[in-house]
């Protein structure tokens, strides 16, 4: 019988790529999509029929414990990706981040505990480290939550660790660094750059240009999730793993590389409305994924240039670019 994996946040950027990855690896997927009145399944609506033929879409909300309990019933693994993720909006609506990222995670943990689910893979973020105090950043690096978003994600992380220690919930936490690729929200820097250039703008508006990031292509992120979800329990359960490339590049240099790959001459400017509060900006992130690579067979499979080329190709298709609003600052 086919293994069934449940994915929360399946309609989103990383979630939809994970659904594809799991299907490719032979799983059936029960995909939770946040209920809406538009009959929209988010990015799942764009996946090929041969993928969706192995996907059961369930409408629900991690903020509702009943919908989560129904989602996890009878599955072999739960991949918990549902979250509010935009850092700028967390300054405006911090309570909503606690409701989804902390309380929603609590509901997933309670459901997994009640059902005796064999594996829970929880999603963290490199933002929980804050600006690097030493590089590369390993799992032992101090945690410093410089935004309400990061604080809410760390709250979820700590709940997961506590449920493993208190109730033996078989959980593993994956902490991806800056994932990018096709389908990413325009609130992220790489889609912002590509979309503005593809729309014909010669003056691209960004936030801070000097911070450095470790950009991980989304297919490598999805593979990391699937890997820790299926690895032998003794090698991953109860552990926290970073996923990244170990290479850093500034936002400004990333923008110039994208312009080069797109064959365009572009001016990049830093706009005040796109800047984080001074003490909230994470100035440097670079990943040490040694622990994950030693525990599993996962390795990043795409260079930054390869990932950018694939992302540019996707965004510059007219039907895809039409889904974005390059002239509007998307928080």
What's the number of CA atoms in the CB half-sphere (13 Å) around residue 199? Answer: 19
Query: Do 92 and 138 belong to one domain?
Result: yes
Query: Do 222 and 308 belong to one domain?
Result: no
Query: Do 132 and 205 belong to one domain?
Result: no
Query: Do 28 and 64 belong to one domain?
Result: yes
- Integer angstrom CA distances of residue 209 from 199, 206, 261, 321, 322: 21, 7, 19, 24, 26
Q: Is 324 helix (H, G, I), strand (E, B) or coil?
A: coil
Number of domains in the chain: 2
Query: Do 201 and 98 belong to one domain?
Result: no
Segment 176-217, tens digit of pLDDT:
999 999 999 988 999 999 999 999 999 988 989 999 999 999
**Torsion angles phi and psi, residue 262, rounded to 5:** -90, 0
Query: Do 202 and 94 belong to one domain?
Result: no
Which CATH number do you get for residue 95? 3.40.50.720
Residue-range definition of the domain harbouring residue 202: 189-213+247-284+302-321
Which CATH number do you get for residue 198? 3.90.25.10
Query: Do 34 and 63 belong to one domain?
Result: yes
Q: Is residue 294 part of a domain?
A: no
Q: Over 70: is that where the pLDDT of 308 sits?
A: yes
Query: Do 125 and 174 belong to one domain?
Result: yes
Query: Do 87 and 151 belong to one domain?
Result: yes
Query: Do 134 and 197 belong to one domain?
Result: no
Q: Is residue 296 part of a domain?
A: no
Q: Is residue 330 part of a domain?
A: no
When pLDDT is averaged across residues 213-234 and rounded to a whole number, the result is 98
Segment 53-92, tens digit of pLDDT:
999 999 999 999 999 999 999 999 999 999 999 999 999 9
Query: Do 141 and 9 belong to one domain?
Result: yes
pLDDT of residue 123: 98
Quote the CA–CA distance of 207 and 212 in Å, as a whole number. Answer: 13
Q: Could you tell me the two tokens for 171?
A: 């959980």
Query: Do 238 and 254 belong to one domain?
Result: no
- Confidence category of residue 126, pLDDT binned at 50, 70, 90: very high
- Integer angstrom CA distances of residue 127 from 188, 198, 326: 14, 29, 25
- Integer angstrom CA distances of residue 315 from 19, 86, 209, 217: 20, 20, 22, 15
Quote the CA–CA distance of 151 and 207 in Å, as a whole number. Answer: 21
């Amino acid at each position: 019988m086919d293994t069934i994996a449940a994915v929360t946040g399946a309609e989103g950027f990383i979630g939809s790529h994970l659904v594809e990855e799991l299907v490719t690896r032979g799983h059936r997927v029960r995909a939770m999509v946040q209920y809406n009145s538009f009959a929209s399944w988010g990015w799942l609506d764009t996946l090929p029929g041969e993928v969706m033929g192995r996907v059961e879409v369930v409408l629900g909300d991690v903020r509702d414990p009943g919908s989560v309990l129904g989602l996890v019933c009878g599955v072999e693994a739960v991949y918990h990706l549902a979250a509010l993720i935009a850092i700028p909006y967390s300054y405006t609506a911090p309570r909503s981040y606690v409701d989804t990222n902390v309380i929603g995670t609590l509901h997933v943990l309670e459901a997994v505990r009640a059902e005796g689910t064999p594996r829970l893979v929880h999603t963290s973020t490199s933002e929980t480290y804050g600006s690097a105090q030493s590089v590369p950043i390993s799992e032992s690096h101090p945690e410093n939550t410089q935004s309400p978003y990061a604080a809410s994600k760390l709250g979820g992380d700590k709940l997961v660790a506590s449920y493993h220690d208190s109730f033996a919930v078989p959980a593993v936490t994956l902490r991806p660094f800056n994932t990018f690729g096709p389908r990413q929200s325009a609130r992220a820097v790489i889609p912002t750059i590509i979309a503005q250039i593809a729309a014909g703008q010669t003056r691209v508006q960004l936030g801070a240009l000097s911070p450095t990031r470790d950009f991980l292509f989304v297919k490598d992120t999805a593979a990391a999730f699937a890997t820790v979800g299926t690895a032998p329990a003794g090698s991953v359960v109860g552990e926290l793993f970073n996923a990244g490339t170990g290479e850093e590049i500034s936002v400004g240099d990333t923008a110039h590389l994208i312009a080069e790959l797109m064959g365009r001459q572009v001016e990049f400017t830093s706009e005040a409305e796109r800047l984080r509060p001074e003490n909230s900006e994470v100035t440097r992130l670079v990943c040490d994924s040694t622990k994950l690579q030693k525990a599993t067979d996962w390795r990043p499979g795409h260079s930054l240039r390869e990932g950018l080329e694939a992302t540019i190709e996707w965004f510059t298709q007219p039907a895809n670019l039409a889904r974005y609003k390059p002239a509007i600052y998307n928080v």
